[in-house]
A and B are shown apart, each in its own frame.
Chain A
């Protein structure tokens, strides 16, 4: 059996080498076209080369295109490399190498147009090339600039494709191309209809390319595949310019031209009969200009009435470049259906964005909510605790170069440091200011500006990097429309963890019980043996510590600067106030509302994030009017101020 296979192979080998003589033969038949190729003539030679089906054709075509084919004086073609004054020759069929002097050879230099034609021919070979990478690059090059003649070779190569991924890709691409280039209308419509479920950017661009239109204007109702008739009401001047460009109307006289014409015809302080002192209005200038025009010195004035008359005498329309109405109708229907799907996908994408923003706000605000809820204290320095956390992460990365490890170290360290800072602040300042909430606000603000300036003095004003580990790079791509970066997923998971942790601490531990007791009624809690002083201190430390961890998380995707806390503080306040004080679920609701709202407004007005923030704040101000105590309001005695 083995011998048999070997025999076959040997036989095939001799067969190929026997046939191999023929490439040079074909080349000689078309010697003129090969030696001096032009875009028109080369296709005849190419057709024969392609039809021969010889395996060495691919190499030859590539070398030909790369200007590595030389012709000897006797007319024989070689693949050659220059080596000083000599050439290293390779026989086009046998691959035999030899050296010869350059003098007997002429280099063949196909121009750009020819090389493109050669490239198209090459694609057909590359599509069935044994090398997978070559096949892939051939498919990619077709996808970049699809052309009619590539469809047939692509379809032909599908059956022989062994790689399943590439096969699917080829089928998809063939489908896209059928939609645009297939000969039979029915085939095209079938292909177009199959695209109606495809939301990829490629499929949409195929549909859009079928639906390309060009604008036109004519005096009568036009024939052809008209997309729509345009109304000239909105921007009459633009349409009139179109008329002028089409040579269907005289150009309008802009105010500057009128002015220049008048200036050029001033005689003795007058233009025509009008003294120049009266020319200070548009109307008078037009009158004077019309007089000049009547005298024949300047071109006639096209008035607004003339313009409107010319516009109404013509039809402005958009015409499909594709002449077949059935195809454009099918494409329009498919595009409408695709766009509905895309809109849903975009809504999902927007929801994901909103979710990630909400989790950031939640992380930033939950610490604030705890201190505000339990102690009724607004901590203006909360933003600076976020900043401290982020800088902790930065400093840790200076010492631990491994990013994964450094983040694992930084998270608890940031908690510890900001916990300590929070407890210190509570002991030194806030403890003395209970029952004076407004003054706490101001005192913590003093701390905030001092900390911010201190960070500026230590770390400088430029942004410091906090690099995320490699496995958090990139994004989870669900489709061309929906994708979300891993770092945002990580922040979302972190937010969920903290939600669970805080709920656990508050509802299931002794500390949580005491915290809730102090929140509801400090006096009663104290009489039950709880030390409110200690609870306040721990709560404040806990809130600050969470801010530190939020700082590490925020620093991972935003820059670490001394002002980063200030960027989040107002949003954090909003979150707490909108959500309702003293309730974890309230903060969650507030963060969700603000996150989704901000993304929603940004979507409505994507060019302008400043405007989006403005509108959001205005909305929140109005919202507070209707629910002054927030979404989740405390009831009963705990709600009393």
Chain B
């Protein structure tokens, strides 16, 4: 069985080999091993890029294979980030606050500890009370469960409602976009219980590992992200390759026909939608400790659309294409907007890429949609077999 799976999907081995090689090389050249050819902040950027690849392949499964253009997967990504961020922030504040309280004459009561932590965390939004949603923030295990459960349940309920009433196509896209907008608007409020537009910060400090250098932590997260990406890649490759994969692709190509063949289309769509949402949540949980900060601005509908852009540029309907697209566009984007690209002096006008990058991205995106619907991944077709 395993033999046939690999032979069906030769790309899996190639992808895993490339990913492994990449991770090892980056590790060897990082500051953690003392070589220092790659700075810690760039290791973090690469680690974050791997997380973006992870959500991109999830997006590819739901859009490229199942034909559901979800403009809400970045919301799941953000939820994952918030879930892990709550624990990171709580545990870190606790680690700072409790020794202070313990140093006083009388040992603190649980209420005093909770008040002090609450004051630290929610002082910026003028509150000191712990909202209900922070009930499990002191437990890493429960918050990790949240990373999986909250996006999963949200996707399940939303998907069940939407698919049940046969909302399809652009309607579904708009609806998922509305969901994302509602979520980000909610988080922007100060009384959302998640610090409003301040978001959660200081997430790069891992409680219990205060002594460990950021260089080391960045490598650990790089490996964590790479491992998650590898596992998800194999899992999704398996999902889309078997009999189930055929049904899913059938739904993409002609939903009505699959339904008439006797398949319960809604269940398949719901499964794909939910499982990809969960993977998105995990990707977010790995991404934000590397980014260090999460705020509602990250969850706005535009982020989910960019996700679709990455997948489209990378090439839909092939997992490695999505991963390549996400890595390529996001790295290129940070190169251009970070001032890495040289400005072009036309004599009468200087093109500054920080200003013009989005114009270039927009136009090239239109060009890709029009002329290269297979995206970057399409180039591999030329390598494998000669163009006819």
Contacts and interface: CB of A to CB of B under 8 A. Distances in A.
A577 B359 contact: no
B110 A442 contact: no
A233 interface: no
Contact of A610 (B111, B178, B186, B363): B186
Given A276-B106, A433-B370, A610-B188, A626 B165 contact: yes
A259 B179 contact: no
B165 A617 contact: no
Interface string A587-623: 0000000000000000000001011011001101110
A614 B358 contact: no
Contacts of B191: 608
B110 A281 contact: yes
B359 A613 contact: no
B169 A437 contact: yes
A541 B226 CA distance: 48
A527 interface: no
Contacts of A459: none
A600 to B, nearest CB: 17
A624 B365 CA distance: 31
Given A442-B308, A445-B305, A617-B182, A641 B169 contact: yes
B358 A443 contact: no
B362 A570 contact: no
A625 interface: yes
Contacts of A618: 182
Contacts, number: 158
B345 interface: no
Contacts of B167: 624-625, 628
A280 B107 contact: yes
A579 to B, nearest CB: 13
Contact of B358 (A449, A626, A641): A449
A453 B165 contact: no
Nearest to B173: A441
Interface string A428-455: 0100110001110111011111111110
A443 B369 contact: yes
Contact of B69 (A255, A441, A574): A441
Interface string B68-83: 0100000000000000
A330 B300 CA distance: 55
B363 A450 contact: yes
Nearest to A454: B359
A4 to B, nearest CB: 81
Contact of A441 (B104, B164, B170, B178): B170
B252 to A, nearest CB: 10
A279 B188 contact: no
Given A263-B106, A280-B109, A447-B366, A610 B189 contact: yes
A252 B355 CA distance: 63
Contacts of B14: none
Interface string B309-320: 100100000000
Contact of A446 (B181, B185, B302, B369): B369
A617 B370 contact: no
A280 B356 contact: no
A446 B106 contact: no
Contacts of B363: 446, 450
A378 B170 contact: yes
B186 A614 contact: yes
Given A429-B366, A448-B362, A450-B363, A614 B174 contact: no
Nearest to B174: A573
Interface string B352-381: 000111110111111001100100000000
Contacts of B108: 280
A421 to B, nearest CB: 14
B107 A279 contact: yes
A611 B190 CA distance: 10
A330 B173 CA distance: 59
Contact of B373 (A439, A454, A617, A628): A439
A282 B107 contact: no
A293 interface: no
Nearest to A264: B105
B69 A438 contact: yes
B289 interface: no
A628 B171 contact: yes
A211 B88 CA distance: 54
Given A282-B111, A628-B167, A453 B356 contact: yes
B366 A281 contact: no
B177 interface: yes
A439 B173 CA distance: 12
Contacts of B161: 621-622, 625
A232 B115 CA distance: 26
B107 A450 contact: no
B301 interface: yes
A281 B113 CA distance: 11
Contacts of B158: 621
A36 interface: no
A151 to B, nearest CB: 47
Contacts of A276: 105-107
A453 B358 contact: yes
B165 A624 contact: yes
Contact of B356 (A442, A452, A457, A574): A457
A139 to B, nearest CB: 45
A601 B112 CA distance: 38
B308 A450 contact: no
B101 to A, nearest CB: 10
A631 to B, nearest CB: 14
B181 A625 contact: no
Given A610-B185, A641-B169, A570 B178 contact: yes
Interface string A261-283: 01100100000000011011110
Nearest to A276: B106
Contact of A608 (B67, B189, B312): B189
A536 to B, nearest CB: 17
B149 interface: no
Contact of B362 (A450, A456, A622): A450
A285 interface: yes
B171 A624 contact: yes
A433 B170 CA distance: 14
B168 interface: yes
A641 B168 contact: yes
17 contacts: A255-B111, A263-B104, A276-B106, A282-B111, A438-B170, A438-B173, A439-B312, A441-B170, A443-B370, A445-B365, A446-B364, A446-B366, A453-B359, A577-B175, A617-B181, A621-B175, A621-B182
